[in-house]
Amino acid sequence: MTNGVVSIMRDGHVIMKIVTGCDGSFAPKLARNIRQHWPMTIGEVYDTALRLKFGTVEHLVVITEEEVKVDDYTSRAEFCAEHPLYAATFRNPAFNPRWEDGFAAFTEIVDL
């Protein structure tokens, strides 16, 4: 299992982060697709990540400042209460909030 992070930035600020605990090696492919098809909704990014094999339903999180798209949560506040690193490190595009040390084997930053 390989972790991956794709962060979408605009004007120097993270606007969306896509994080997976498996199949992170598909991060470059997902980043290319996002660049080609932006703007996209959080749901479209989530579905695209799954279609491109960047993670699985059990391991994929797409998060913005206001929303989260993950298999078993509907509220960003509820999700971040249980997984506080996602909110605490959201503004750091290279940080992997799945782990305390922030490491991801594959990281891509999409600068719009």
Question: pLDDT exceeding 90 applies to what percent of the chain?
Answer: 96
What pLDDT, on a 0 to 100 scale, did the predictor assign at position 72? 81
Record the pTM. Answer: 0.97
Instruction: Give tens-digit pLDDT for 45-63.
Output: 999 999 999 999 999 999 9
70, β-bridge pairs: 61, 73
Instruction: Give tens-digit pLDDT for 24-34.
Output: 999 999 999 99
Beta strands in the chain (DSSP E): 4-10, 13-20, 60-63, 68-70, 106-111
* pLDDT for residue 101 is more than 90: yes
What pLDDT, on a 0 to 100 scale, did the predictor assign at position 73? 83
